[in-house]
Structure 1
């Protein structure tokens, strides 16, 4: 495990299935690189369908509660 992976993730990855009432399932996390030009991603699972959405993690955790929906 690298140093960047020992800190809290800066981003969360979700599999999104459906459109209007989409189902969001968290599938991984991301850590911003020190130079700010990339993100290291760790996947807990790899979806076979749907789309993957990368969302910035907020301090208040609102993104977690809503599943990243806008």
Structure 2
């Protein structure tokens, strides 16, 4: 209860009006909003797919431009 009292004392001060402290029950396992967590997971999977697609394109470009590089070097 000492921590809770200290947080309440901090929050009631007018200079701390815009930077309030909150207590969370970590035992509940919901210290990160589930909606925010799910959004981040979806974005992560989307980005992973994009990275995979871009790596495939990069690999294709590397394979197809190798001949161009050789031809360019032989022309010089």
Flag whether TM exceeds 0.5 (same fold). no
Q: Which has the larger radius of gyration?
A: 2
Greater helix proportion: 2
Greater strand proportion: 1
Give TM-score, length-normalised by structure 1: 0.20
Give TM-score, length-normalised by structure 2: 0.19
